[in-house]
Amino acid sequence: MKTRFAALLLAPLLAAACSTTNTPPAAASAPVATSAAVYPGGMVSAADPRAADAGTQMLRQGGNATDAAIATMLALSVVEPQSSGIGGGGFFVETDAAGHVVTIDGRETAPAAAHPHWFFKDGKLLSFPEAVPGGTSVGVPGNMALAAKAHKEHGKLPWATLFAPAIKLARDGFEITPRLYGMLKTNAKVAGFTSEGRALFYGTDGEPLPVGTLVKNPAMATTLEALAAGGPRTFYEGANPRAIVARVTNAPVNPEPMTEADIAAYAAKDRAPLCGTYRGYKVCSMGPPSSGATTVIATLKMLERFDLGALGKDSPVAWHLIAESMRLSYADRNRYTADSDFVPVPAEGMIDPAYLAKRSALIDPGKTISSVTAGTPPGAEKLAWADPAMAEEHGTSHFVTIDRTGNAVSYTSTIESPFGSGLMVDGYFLNNELTDFDMNPELDGRQVANRVEGGKRPRSSMSPTLVFGPDGKLRLAVGAAGGATIPAQVIRAIIGVIDWNMPAQDALGLPVIFAPGIDTIFIEQGSSLEAMIPALRALGHDQVVPRALPLKANAIEVIDGALRGAADPRSEGQAIPE
């Protein structure tokens, strides 16, 4: 399992390494929030300043956090096409000023025809890179249904208004950033899989268009105009689903049956938010089909009995404890989390304080747990799932919006791998989210909870999170992109803010340790954690591997009612005040 896991992770992580340090593109409006400044009013933090600006425009027009979040999601579809978009899905976590939290699940679904051996061709299991391009990996997109539901229930501005900035970016053009260029270079096979992708982003010599090139995407502008004028059902009925079905069923590789009925049947779902407590703070995040909430909350809860504040960020023992707790929570995640509409998921049990107290007792500050396995949380007594390896990638974007009345949205949007399946429909990429299923439905004679089934949603790691202070008021809204490293990034940010008393911006700059439920632990290559390798080895971590992790987080924190933005210093992201 260890070797298999390492092999699965290696390729995507190396690809990410080529595109992390960049000069950010300029947003249309200033000023940009910094770690020092606090602002009254609203704010948007996103992985691209042009998308953050789109959200901020909504706030300035009297829109609320939901309006801003939808406009940001749409703009990211245009300017960060490698990461997320209307051809993918996402999770939306919202609170009002009174702290009432709702979550909406806009995760992609497998077509009705899908089955546990979906990723087997001629009896042979496809490798991850074989499975990504073409039709097999495409789930019915959920972001437009999510946006429609969120807008209907929480939005304020007219629907069409939310599309204006994204349409302008697509119609008038946007510049290729260093990050997009790097992604086009390292993922040319997928980004340039179709003639539409090649025409948009590559020159006649087959090279990506240089940084700074103005790209116009008129097909995307027309798609967005149709959605703005015709409403969200335009995405699920008529010409658009016909085009999606044509692309998926006639894909040059991995053609698969997806029907217009599959697309028409898509529904975004209300899910109960999962919340837990950490040192008097309340942490709410996304439950199944995401593993975000359970992994973040369980890891933090098991750490509560240790004084991380006193240990400090420079202590190898602190990072050892974080890694140990993460190993335990990821082991549970790997075994138990999947779409709870298809399999029983003991999500409440996985964050049950009494259960976690017993799990935490396994953690020793002076020594590594020799081998970690999943526990038996309440509700899991009769479940006998297998323990699959993880193979998630990093084509995702997180953004946070807060308005002046105190509503806040934490929204993670994705097309899964960079440029998704490579298939394009009228200017946008279709996701490859179905590779987030475990492609092998059975291991060692036991079924895998997250196996493919018709109509099911693949398990996610996305962790759009809200943290409320002991006074009940919102303190931090945070999330990240980066596949299975997402909970690890969010955990690190929360510990930075709560235990180490850091501004959120500095907390996002902290290094990341990633301990995905196996004996190997990964530390961020080139970070201060590398100097701790001997100390971590002395604590018993024989397998500490420095790795170029795909890290990209965004956050906003609230300090005495004012806002302070944060965007991952490894990314092109920025926070922009209203």
Per the document, the length of the chain is 578
Tell me how far apart the alpha carbons of residues 240 and 427 are, in angstroms, rounded to a whole number. 11
Q: Are 347 and 287 in contact (CB under 8 A)?
A: yes
Q: How far is the CB of 441 from ligand GLU (least distance, A)?
A: 19
Give the nearer residue to ligand GLU in terms of CB position, either 45 or 461: 461
**Helix residue ranges, H only, 36-186:** 49-60, 65-79, 128-131, 143-154, 164-172, 178-186
User: Using CB under 6 A, which residues numbered 356 to 395 contact ligand GLU?
Assistant: 392-395
Q: 147: helix, coil or strand?
A: helix
User: Which string of x and - marks every residue 210-229 that binds ligand GLU (by CB under 6 A)?
Assistant: --------------------
Size of the site for ligand GLU (CB under 6 A): 16
Q: Which residue is catalytic, options 72, 194, 396, 465?
A: 396
Give the nearer residue to ligand GLU in terms of CB position, either 191 or 221: 191
Give the nearer residue to ligand GLU in terms of CB position, either 487 or 577: 487
Tell me how far apart the alpha carbons of residues 382 and 416 are, in angstroms, rounded to a whole number. 32
Q: Are 313 and 496 in contact (CB under 8 A)?
A: yes
Among 67, 339, 416, 568, binds ligand GLU (CB under 6 A): 416
Give the nearer residue to ligand GLU in terms of CB position, either 321 or 391: 391
Residue 578 is a binding residue for ligand GLU (CB under 6 A): no
Give the nearer residue to ligand GLU in terms of CB position, either 334 or 461: 461
Q: What are the backbone angles phi and psi of residue 55, rounded to the nearest 5°?
A: -65, -40
Q: How far is CA 18 from each of CA 41, 211, 298, 481, rounded to the nearest angstrom?
A: 37, 14, 32, 16
Q: Are 244 and 262 in contact (CB under 8 A)?
A: no
Give the nearer residue to ligand GLU in terms of CB position, either 72 or 360: 72
User: Which string of x and - marks every residue 392-411 that binds ligand GLU (by CB under 6 A)?
Assistant: xxxxx---------------
Q: Is the peptide bond before 31 cis (omega within 30 degrees of 0)?
A: yes
Stretch that binds ligand GLU, among 133-141, 193-201, 329-337, 477-485 (CB under 6 A): 477-485
Q: How far is the CB of 485 from ligand GLU (least distance, A)?
A: 8
Tell me how far apart the alpha carbons of residues 360 and 507 are, in angstroms, rounded to a whole number. 24
Q: How far is the CB of 549 from ligand GLU (least distance, A)?
A: 11
CB atoms within 10 A of CB 223: 25
Q: What are the backbone angles phi and psi of residue 20, rounded to the nearest 5°?
A: -105, -30
Active-site residue, 295 included? no
Two tokens at 492?
A: 């690190």
Tell me how far apart the alpha carbons of residues 166 and 79 are, in angstroms, rounded to a whole number. 9
Q: How far is the CB of 276 from ligand GLU (least distance, A)?
A: 20
Tell me the CB-side half-sphere exposure of residue 284, using CA atoms within 13 A.
26
User: Using CB under 6 A, which residues numbered 445 to 474 contact ligand GLU?
Assistant: 460-462
Q: How far is the CB of 523 from ligand GLU (least distance, A)?
A: 19
User: Using CB under 6 A, which residues numbered 484 to 503 contact ligand GLU?
Assistant: 486
Q: How far is the CB of 482 from ligand GLU (least distance, A)?
A: 5
Contact set with ligand GLU (CB under 6 A) = 392-396, 414, 416, 433, 436, 460-462, 481-483, 486
Give the active site residues. Answer: 396
